[in-house]
Structure 1
Amino acid sequence: MQLNTYLVANFRIMQTAFLPYRSSQVHYCWFGTGQKLILCLHGYGESAESFQFLGKYIGADYTLIAIDFPFHGKTEWNEGLQFSVADLIAIVQALHLKHCDGTQRITLLGYSMGGRVALQLLQSLSTKIEKTVLLAPDGLKVNFWYWLATQTYIGNRLFAFTMKHPGWFFYLLQTGSKLKLINQSILKFTRYYINDTTVRRLLYERWTCMRAIRPNLTSIKKLIRAHALPIRLLYGKYDRIIRHERGEIFRKGIESFCTLHIIQTGHQVLQEKQVNEIIQLIES
């Protein structure tokens, strides 16, 4: 195991390591040695280090583990464009055993794409979950274009072609913007992610690799009710990418277990300036 350590602002140690898995090396970070375990799941294009600031504020009774997903951060993923639910569970269970004794229940903290991963873990490991905190989470609504690009053969081939030859797609975006069919936030967001050859390649690899992570919301809501599992949702009021209305719809039927909070920000909910709200949801 490769290991590096460095000091964060308040002299607590953040440690990083690689977990061998099959022919890959999964990179992750952790803080603390407390009995309460928080598993942190980052957003698209981010990494485990997105949660670094929490180490300055989280209580001493917590252990915080953050994973780099395939094709993100420093993870060396050598299993092709395959990342199954079984892979996800095996990695989480290995880290659970390594840093705890495998018996502690886990608090899931997922941001954006990591919210979808958290929902999948909630569905698959419900008896091991203490609480789920979702920050502007993906996964509460099936995006048609994501479904088409990752769940259908023809759509995935078109996706691959477009990432190599994006001209026609740029034209389509511009036309949709002129006709007011696409809002400016989504237009800017999309342009950012397809305006560079390397960024487009990573988009294809990341989306395709994560395609098996498809939580079933009906099953999840049944598990929430059956096990009385707390769910905390946090959204940005001005988020045009993932709207808080999705959370309101998800809450229907599980209001006793699921709370929804809206703060004065956009999609970037996972920031140090929001740390008080985040920690309050973890501890509530």
Structure 2
Amino acid sequence: MGFLDIPGLGKKHYHEYGTGNKPLLAFHGYGMTGRQFHVLERSILKEYHVYGFDHFFHGESKLNGWTEQQIIAGMPKPIVKAYMDEWFKQHGRQRFSVLGYSIGANIALILVEEYADLIDTMILMAPDGLSVYKGFHFLTHRPIGKYLFKHVTKSKWLAPTLLKSLKKIKFIDESLYQIAYNEIDTEQKRQDVYYTLNLIRLLKPDTTKIVQLINKYNIKCRLIFGKYDNLFPMKAAQPFIDKLPNAEVYEVNMGHWLVTKQLDEYLVNLP
């Protein structure tokens, strides 16, 4: 494990694991850490040496000197390049691959946008960033949504009540309800949700540019979706997929919670 000391941002913590020798920069989903992908030991880890980064407000990554106002304003997209500047200082400028699950896919996609000429493979699992997810956009960009988000996350009873209502009207399913509920059951967790989603709200990949770069540099793409994922389903990403004639696209019999031993078994047995 190690840290990237990023000027003007803070310390970005990363985990190292895997028995392969090809570098893979990996970005996890909400509520996890950079160790999330360690369960993919028979597939991903045999091929790659993983550098799994903790998001801020997760694991051991720490913002340095940022005020609440700065956090809510969001982290500027160009800062993502600073991740690589520091990583290259430690490990040398070299070719690499990227992996992103859920909200972590945004950073993986931005790295493709910025370093396509150095990237061999892009692996996305239940990815955010390929289309606009209206729920997150409402909470972090619309005035009424921002107001509600702030007050709901500061309340002990509003957040659970809202989740139950969303499940009742089938906006979210039982699995998403359980995942979300486990992330709001304490005051600290509710604050971390609020800070995390606001901090990353400006990290929106330019998918048109990314498609052009993937095709130009023949970047290998593997896109994996959960058949029962109501958060980031394959149908929402279909316009992106249709522009990548050589992409490997899989829809597995799972929900949003993809990074499991079950997925590892699925990947191992691919033709």
Give the TM interval when normalised to the shorter protein: 0.7 to 0.9
Aligned 8 A contact 1:229 1:257 in 2: no
Q: In structure 2, what is the Cα distance between the partners aligned to 1:159 and 1:217?
A: 27
Of 141, 146, 149, which aligns to 1:156?
146
Of 75, 91, 95, which aligns to 1:105?
95
| Number of the residue aligned with 2:3 | 18
Residue 36 (str. 1) matches residue 22 (str. 2)? yes
Q: In structure 2, what is the Cα distance between the partners aligned to 1:96 and 1:48?
A: 19
Q: In structure 2, what is the Cα distance between the partners aligned to 1:115 and 1:179?
A: 28
2:155 is matched by which residue type in structure 1? H
Larger RCO (CA within 8 A; separation ≥ 6): 2
Task: State the secondary structure of the residue aligned to 2:222.
Answer: strand
Aligned 8 A contact 1:236 1:262 in 2: yes
1:164 is matched by which residue type in structure 2? K
1:78 CA displacement: 1.8
Q: In structure 1, what is the Cα distance between the partners aligned to 2:56 and 2:36?
A: 16
Aligned 8 A contact 2:56 2:62 in 1: yes
Task: State the secondary structure of the residue aligned to 1:155.
Answer: helix
Aligned 8 A contact 1:247 1:260 in 2: no
2:15 is matched by which residue type in structure 1? C
Aligned 8 A contact 1:251 1:258 in 2: yes
Q: In structure 1, what is the Cα distance between the partners aligned to 2:182 and 2:47?
A: 40
Of 82, 98, 111, which aligns to 1:90?
82
Task: State the secondary structure of the residue aligned to 2:129.
Answer: coil
1:214 CA displacement: 0.5
Instruction: Assess, with a 3 A threshold, how the Cα gap between structure 1 residues 158 and 35 changes in structure 2: closer, same or farther.
Output: same
Structure 2 unmatched runs, 5+? none
Percent of residue pairs bearing the same amino acid type:
28
Aligned 8 A contact 1:240 1:267 in 2: yes
1:88 CA displacement: 1.8
Residue 271 (str. 1) matches residue 260 (str. 2)? yes
What CA RMSD, in Å, does the superposition of the two structures yield over aligned residues?
2.9
Instruction: Assess, with a 3 A threshold, how the Cα gap between structure 1 residues 273 and 35 changes in structure 2: closer, same or farther.
Output: same
The structure number with the bigger radius of gyration is 1
| Number of the residue aligned with 1:257 | 246
Q: In structure 2, what is the Cα distance between the partners aligned to 1:278 and 1:76?
A: 33
Q: In structure 2, what is the Cα distance between the partners aligned to 1:114 and 1:185?
A: 19
| Number of the residue aligned with 2:130 | 140
1:135 CA displacement: 1.0
Instruction: Assess, with a 3 A threshold, how the Cα gap between structure 1 residues 181 and 75 changes in structure 2: closer, same or farther.
Output: closer
Aligned 8 A contact 1:224 1:257 in 2: no
2:87 is matched by which residue type in structure 1? L
| Number of the residue aligned with 2:60 | 74
Instruction: Assess, with a 3 A threshold, how the Cα gap between structure 1 residues 88 and 160 changes in structure 2: closer, same or farther.
Output: same
1:209 is matched by which residue type in structure 2? L
Instruction: Figure out how many residues of one structure are paired with residues of the other and give that number.
Output: 264
TM-score of the two chains, using structure 2 as the length reference: 0.83
Q: Which runs of structure 2 are paired with 1:127-206 in the superposition (5 Å)? A: 127-165=117-155, 167-168=157-158, 170-175=160-165, 177-180=167-170, 182-206=172-196
Instruction: Assess, with a 3 A threshold, how the Cα gap between structure 1 residues 198 and 251 changes in structure 2: closer, same or farther.
Output: same
Q: In structure 2, what is the Cα distance between the partners aligned to 1:67 and 1:53?
A: 16
Q: In structure 1, what is the Cα distance between the partners aligned to 2:163 and 2:34?
A: 32
Q: In structure 2, what is the Cα distance between the partners aligned to 1:73 and 1:32?
A: 19
Of 230, 250, 264, which aligns to 2:220?
230
| Number of the residue aligned with 1:215 | 205
Q: In structure 1, what is the Cα distance between the partners aligned to 2:267 and 2:86?
A: 26
Q: In structure 2, what is the Cα distance between the partners aligned to 1:54 and 1:179?
A: 35
Instruction: Assess, with a 3 A threshold, how the Cα gap between structure 1 residues 175 and 34 changes in structure 2: closer, same or farther.
Output: closer
TM-score of the two chains, using structure 1 as the length reference: 0.80
1:38 CA displacement: 0.8
| Number of the residue aligned with 2:110 | 120
Q: In structure 2, what is the Cα distance between the partners aligned to 1:162 and 1:212?
A: 22
